[in-house]
Amino acid sequence: MERKLVVSSSPHLKSPEDIQSIMVDVLVALFPVALMAVFLFGYRALATMVIAMLAAMVTEAIILRKGNLFGDGSAAVTGLLLAMTLPPAPPWWVVVVGSAVAIGIGKQIYGGIGNNIFNPALVGRAVLIVSWSGHIAGNVWLKPVPFGFTADMVTQATPLATKAASLGNLFIGTVSGSLGETSALALIIGGLWLYHRGHIDWRIPGSFVAVVFILGFFDGGFSMGLFHVLAGGVLLGALFMATDMVTSPVTPVGKLVFGAGCGLVTMVVRLFGSLPEGVTFGILLMNGLTPLIDNLTLPKRFGEVSKSA
């Protein structure tokens, strides 16, 4: 029997890692955050996350006319990340619209995975903020009730609005806020997992958090610096949103510039703007600058003495 040999261009070995395995790693990294959200905000948070993920996956399946709902896993990640930025219990249709916008206008309109300019989850969130601010901001922040799976809804103002919360509570997460942003502990565990798996670099979260801390420090000393890092969406943004591969720079120096820019815009909005929080707009603005940053920060080639034009 004549054996047919396959001919292809080298290399002939490929890493087992693919896009789906990366997305699964991101979902694993978000698991402690999701667990903490359910622990603090009960079944409503769980419902919000499930609806957001399902709506995102269904939207993508419809646009791509594909039968495989999970696919490469990126839609599930976008949906879950969007849920993380929402209050624990918005109306279900707001969540669905947010996910549909995230996938449709945030991602597929550019040509799908890899081609979008802006972080899809944050595009979804931005549209919800300007369209239904009453459901997304304002008097919507549930008071956390640990183990209160079916506890009654009681709202309270967020730490960013009141500037009053102990650093310990901010670290554990027993404060009100978006369902995925309150627990610094859970976010850091997830971030360490992504770092361990090689999916994020220290540079973006590092420069993002450093700039937030430094500007907070100038505003009100060491504890205010820490407060600004732990309160609101800075850690969620720095570890999971700004590090989105598609919409952040690839060069080492570019990553530092990008993270610092996110931190700067966040703090300008927080300290001088009319909104309490600026993470979303900080990251979206820097997303738009990403191609420019990459091209201005090309790395020095091996053996290159000085930057040649």
Partner 1 sequence: MSERTFVGGIHPGYFKDYSSGKPITSARAPAQVIISLHQNIGAPCDPVVQVGDEVKMGQKIGEPKGFVSAPIFASVSGKVTKIEPFNHPLGNPVLAVFIENDGQDTPDEGMKPGKTLEELSAEEIKKIAKDAGLVGLGGATFPTHVKLSPPPEIKIDTVIINGAECEPFLTADHRQMLEQSDDIVYGLKAFMKALGATKGIIGIEDNKFDAVESMKKAVAEGKGDYDIEVHTLHTKYPQGAEKMLIKATTGREVPPGALPMAVNVVNQNSGTAVALAEAIKLGKPLYERVVTITGPGIKEPANLLVRNGTLVKDLIEQCGGMTDDARKLILGGPMMGLAQPTDEVPALKGTSGVLVLTEEFVKDLPISPCIKCGKCLDVCPMSLMPNFIGSASEKNMIDLAEKYGAMDCFECGCCTYTCPAKRPLVQWIRIAKGEIGARRKK
Give yes or no for residue 168 binding partner 1 (CB under 8 A): no
Smallest gap from residue 56 Cβ to partner 1 (A): 17
Give yes or no for residue 164 binding partner 1 (CB under 8 A): no
Token pair 């080639």 in the structure block, residue: 301
**What is d(CA 98, CA 91) in angstroms, rounded to the nearest whole number?**
11
**Local structure of 142: helix, strand or coil:** strand
CA pseudo-torsion sign 42, 151, 132, 93? positive
Give yes or no for residue 67 binding partner 1 (CB under 8 A): no
Which tokens hold the place of 28?
């694993």
Give yes or no for residue 131 binding partner 1 (CB under 8 A): no
Contact range with partner 1 by CB under 8 A, out of 37-45, 91-99, 215-223, 297-305: 297-305
Binding residues among 223-262 for partner 1 as defined by CB under 8 A: 245-252
Give yes or no for residue 68 binding partner 1 (CB under 8 A): no
Could you say which of 114, 134, 221, 288 contacts partner 1 (CB under 8 A)?
114
Smallest gap from residue 78 Cβ to partner 1 (A): 13
Token pair 């799908």 in the structure block, residue: 112
**What is d(CA 66, CA 51) in angstroms, rounded to the nearest whole number?**
20
Query: Which is nearer to partner 1, 66 or 163 (by Cβ)?
Result: 66
Contact range with partner 1 by CB under 8 A, out of 31-39, 106-114, 180-188, 264-272: 106-114
**What is d(CA 190, CA 278) in angstroms, rounded to the nearest whole number?**
22
Under a CB-based contact definition with an 8 Å cutoff, are residues 204 and 255 in contact?
yes
What are the C-alpha distances in Å from 127 to residues 58, 94, 135, 178, 275? 19, 10, 12, 16, 15
Give yes or no for residue 288 binding partner 1 (CB under 8 A): no
Question: Where does this chain bind partner 1 (CB under 8 A)?
Answer: 3-15, 17-19, 21-22, 72, 111-115, 198-199, 201, 245-252, 294, 298-305
